[in-house]
Amino acid sequence: MCSLQELRGKVVQDGGAKALLPLTSQGTEKGKRQASQALARIGITINPEVAFPGQRNFEVIRPLLNLLHQDCSALENFEALMALTNLAAMNESTRKRILTDQGLSKIEYYLMEDHVYLNRAAAQCICNMVTSDEVVGLYEKENDRVKFLALLCQEEDEDTAKASAGALAMLTTVSKKCCEKIFEANAWLDILHTLIANPSAEVQHRGMVIILNMIKSGEQVAQRIFETDIMELIMGLSKLPDDSRSKARELAVHCLKAAEKYNIIEKNDDDENRFEEISS
């Protein structure tokens, strides 16, 4: 029944979600997977606060994580990731339970799969997970998590790039360490180029949040950015007469103002809206 989207609400209404939970740990392997997949499909379509009220939203996490396994089909992986994305958006307690059940590494595995839908779903799930302070702490540690997210911002799939840039925007908003770790990617300059000049207004907007956060995180970081051609690109964006890019344009102006405070650049006396680099 849960394979039919229009029937999932009826299943929840009749207590089907509650009945499915014990079936995820009893019986044959095939039966457990089918029960878990049914819960995933419910979690995709129905608000998890309605589908899995109270303690049930904790209980459904492990069956969903069990679908993040190489023995499961790509469809099972995808549906589990989508349901976990919705659960991760609920509250901090649910995100902590996903962490406790070793969910973060299982989700991150699918960022590296050669499958655009799995990449996208995993990135969207991570975007919700990084709102947790505990997850931010994990990204600040000595690992390649921040670097890999930065690389994903260059993905051709817009939704994957948008989710990755969104996650990185949130991380850099709250963590100076994460701002600095972006430089660990050898292609960090290419990544910033891609974000500033992105054909997607939404990816560009998130990218400019990242760059502004980096500039505001400290003078050394700002100096390293403005030693490149990034300043020319930001100056160009700050004057872009395109209303669809107004959010990015406003952030570009803030980037230049932040750099001005460090005395890296100054306003041109002939034009208050233009900036020039101070010669060293």
Alpha-carbon span 46 to 75, nearest angstrom: 18
Average pLDDT, integer, range 191-196: 98
Least Cα distance to 201 among 148, 243, 235 occurs for 243
Given pLDDT bands bounded at 50, 70 and 90, which one contains residue 212? very high
Can you list the alpha helix ranges (DSSP code H) found in 14-73? Answer: 16-23, 29-45, 48-51, 56-59, 61-66
> What is residue 12's predicted lDDT score, i.e. its pLDDT?
56
Is residue 13 domain-resident?
yes
> What is residue 4's predicted lDDT score, i.e. its pLDDT?
44
What is the DSSP code string of 186-243? TTHHHHHHHHHT-SSHHHHHHHHHHHHHHHHH-HHHHHHHHTTTHHHHHHHHHT---G
> Other CB atoms closer than 10 Å to residue 166's CB: what's the count?
24
Is residue 40 domain-resident?
yes
> Average pLDDT over the chain, rounded to whole?
89
Is residue 18 domain-resident?
yes
Alpha-carbon span 165 to 158, nearest angstrom: 10
pLDDT tens figures, 62-106? 999 999 999 999 999 999 999 999 999 999 999 999 999 999 999
Full-prediction pTM beyond 0.85? yes
Given pLDDT bands bounded at 50, 70 and 90, which one contains residue 279? very low
Is residue 201 domain-resident?
no
> What is residue 224's predicted lDDT score, i.e. its pLDDT?
95
What type of residue sits at position 40?
A: A
What is the DSSP code string of 91-146? -HHHHHHHHHTTHHHHHHHTTSSS-HHHHHHHHHHHHHHTTSHHHHHHHHSSSSHH
Please check the confidence at residue 276 and state whether its pLDDT lies above 50.
no
User: Residue 32: which CATH number?
Assistant: 1.25.10.10
Is residue 92 domain-resident?
yes
Is residue 6 domain-resident?
yes
The total domain count for the chain is 1
Is residue 200 domain-resident?
no
Is residue 34 domain-resident?
yes
The range of the structural domain enclosing residue 20 comes to: 1-101
